[in-house]
Amino acid sequence: MSLPLVAILRGVTPAEIIDIAEAIIAAGITRIEIPLNSPEPLASVEKLARHCADHHNGRILVGAGTVLTPAQVREVHASGGRLIVSPNCNVEVIRESRRLDMVSMPGIVTPTEAFAALEAGASGLKLFPATQVGIANMKAMQTVLPAGTELYAVGGIGTDNFAEWRAAGIHGAGLGTSLYSPGLDADQVGERARALVAAWQAAD
Residues with catalytic function? 33, 126
E strand or H helix at 173, and its extent? Answer: strand 172-175
Asked if residue 182 lies in contact with residue 156, where contact means CB atoms within 8 angstroms, the answer is: no
Provide long-range contacts, Cβ within 8 A and 24+ apart, for 94-99: 94/120, 94/121, 94/122, 95/70, 95/120, 95/121, 96/70, 97/67, 97/73, 97/121, 98/123
| CA-to-CA separations, 157 to 14, 16, 22, 34, 117, in angstroms, rounded | 26, 24, 22, 18, 22
Do 169 and 139 meet the contact criterion of CB atoms below 8 Å apart?
A: yes
What residues does 153 pair with on adjacent strands?
127, 173
The answer to whether residues 83 and 64 touch, using CB atoms and an 8 Å cutoff, is: yes
